[in-house]
């Protein structure tokens, strides 16, 4: 019997090692660059994301568990056929890879995109990216400043095994937040974060990343000083 136990234990060791090597979270970030987003607001989104990733709190959350990294990809979208990858899948396994990812996002220059807002297609794209990642959790992070007006309606897109969170931007965000809760967010513990305007995007993204990576308690403590009254909505 002891010999059998030894054989079973030896057989399990490689599988335990493989499990420990898998990422704990795959996070895809989809950013709205439709016609309602001007050049200044475009820059505020990209720089805001890069700055949020490099903040002390988010960096600490990303690197909190050595050997259990977070993988991140970012893309921009507008109309049904308009998408560009800003950051290919990158495993954040240390300060160097995190700085490289943020630096790549900062260097992106805007391209001409159709004016439409295809939220349903943005969900399909992000879901396709996440399907490639065998991580413990898979989260799609969709930012936007308006409802869908082209392509499949977001309520028709169901992503299995994925949590979809929303970040709504700008005036009338209360109505838009309700729209996102009804038609965009899905999956376990999904939520909507609100940025009052594009200038508030960085703070909203920082809080959102903390909640997605480390949980709400970590986010609340880490952002008390600079974001005292963030607005969210749970599902």
Compute CA distances 102 → 9, 48, 51, 87, 138, whole Å: 42, 10, 7, 9, 20
Q: In angstroms, rounded to a whole number, what is the distance separating the alpha carbons of residues 44 and 40?
A: 6
Q: What is the mean pLDDT of the chain?
A: 85
Question: Containing H/E element for 106?
Answer: helix 95-106
- More confident position, 54 or 132: 54
pLDDT, one tens digit per residue, over 166-191 is 999 975 556 899 999 999 999 999 99
- More confident position, 12 or 88: 88
Instruction: Give phi and psi for 185, each to the nearest 5.
Output: -70, 145
Residue 6 has pLDDT above 70, yes or no: no
Listed in order, strand segments (DSSP E) in the chain are: 25-32, 70-77, 83-92, 137-144, 163-169, 191-195, 232-234
Cβ neighbours around 28 below 10 Å, total: 26
Which residue do the tokens 């001409």 mark? 112
Biggest distance spanned by C-alpha atoms of the chain: 71
Q: In angstroms, rounded to a whole number, what is the distance separating the alpha carbons of residues 87 and 159?
A: 22
Sheet holding 137-144, edge to edge: 83-92, 70-77, 25-32, 137-144, 163-169, 191-195, 232-234
Q: Which of 76, 137, 142 is nearest to 111 (CA)?
A: 76
Residue 1 CA, chain-centre distance (Å), reads: 49
Residue 193 has pLDDT above 70, yes or no: yes
Residue 148's pLDDT is 96
Return the domain boundaries, the chain.
23-234
Q: Are the C-beta atoms of residues 56 and 36 closer than 8 Å to each other?
A: no
Q: Which of 122, 102, 138 is nearest to 30 (CA)?
A: 122
pTM of the model: 0.84
Q: Are the C-beta atoms of residues 77 and 121 closer than 8 Å to each other?
A: yes
Residue 228 has pLDDT above 50, yes or no: no
Q: Are the C-beta atoms of residues 169 and 142 closer than 8 Å to each other?
A: no
Label residue 130 exposed, middle or buried (CB < 10 Å: 0-12, 13-18, 19+).
buried
Looking at the domain that runs over 23-234, which CATH code has it been given?
Answer: 3.40.50.410
Cβ neighbours around 49 below 10 Å, total: 27
Q: How confident is the model at residue 227 (pLDDT cuts 50, 70, 90)?
A: very low
């Amino acid at each position: 019997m002891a010999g059998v136990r030894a054989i079973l234990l030896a057989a399990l060791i490689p599988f335990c090692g493989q499990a420990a090597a898998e990422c704990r979270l795959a996070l895809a970030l989809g950013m709205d660059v439709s016609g309602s987003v001007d050049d200044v607001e475009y820059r505020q989104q990209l720089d805001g994301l890069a700055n949020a990733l490099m903040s002390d709190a988010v960096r600490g959350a990303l690197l909190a568990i050595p050997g259990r990294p977070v993988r991140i990809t970012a893309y921009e979208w507008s109309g049904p056929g308009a998408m560009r990858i800003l950051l290919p899948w990158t495993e954040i396994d240390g300060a160097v890879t995190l700085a490289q990812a943020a630096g790549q996002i900062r260097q992106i220059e805007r391209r001409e995109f159709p004016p439409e807002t295809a939220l349903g297609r943005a969900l399909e794209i992000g879901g396709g990216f996440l399907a490639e990642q065998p991580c413990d959790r898979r989260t799609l992070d969709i930012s936007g400043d308006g409802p869908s007006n082209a392509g499949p309606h977001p309520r028709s897109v169901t992503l299995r095994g994925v949590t979809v969170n929303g970040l709504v931007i700008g005036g009338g965000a209360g109505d838009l937040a309700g729209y996102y809760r009804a038609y965009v967010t899905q999956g376990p513990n999904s939520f909507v974060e609100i940025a009052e305007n594009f200038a508030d995007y960085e703070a909203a993204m920082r809080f959102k990343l903390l909640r997605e990576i480390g949980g709400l308690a970590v986010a609340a403590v880490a952002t008390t000083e600079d974001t005292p009254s963030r607005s969210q909505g749970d599902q």
